[in-house]
Each structure stands twice: as C-alpha cells, then as structure tokens.
Amino acid sequence: MTSKLLTAAAVRDALGGVSDMTLWRWLNDPALNFPKPIYIARRRYWREADVSDWLDAQAEVAA
C-alpha cells in the first residue's frame, strides 16, 4: 500500500495555512506528537495518511 507524499507547503495549506515556523514548532513539541517528515534530497515530505490521522486525533482531543 502506498501513500501520497505531501510537501511542506501542501501540509501547511492542509493545516489551515500555518507558517513554516509554526510547522517547525509543532515538529519540535513532543506533546503534540506531530508526524515526522521523510527527507528526500534534503526536502521534507509527509505521508498524507499520517497528517490526516494527526488531524483526526486533534479533533478528538478538542471535542
């Protein structure tokens, strides 16, 4: 099973247009458990399923 890879820009857009600094903060905050990127040629990519699962978990916490 393959999963679509998202660029940092696509992840930021999917998360409501957050800045790259916000994305960096989320990555470095262990309490948030934000998915770690995959590095390919020094560029960051996230599995779409990981980001989607994280968003779902955040919605459950907020509810």
Q: How many domains does the chain have?
A: 1
Q: How many CA atoms lie within 13 A of 48 on its CB side?
A: 9
DSSP assignment of the chain: ----EEEHHHHHHHTTS--HHHHHHHHT-TTT-PPPPEEETTEEEEEHHHHHHHHHHHHHHH-
The pLDDT of residue 2: 62
pLDDT tens track of the chain, all 63 residues? 568 999 999 999 999 999 999 999 999 999 999 999 999 999 999 999 999 999 999 988 777
Domain ranges, residue 34: 5-62
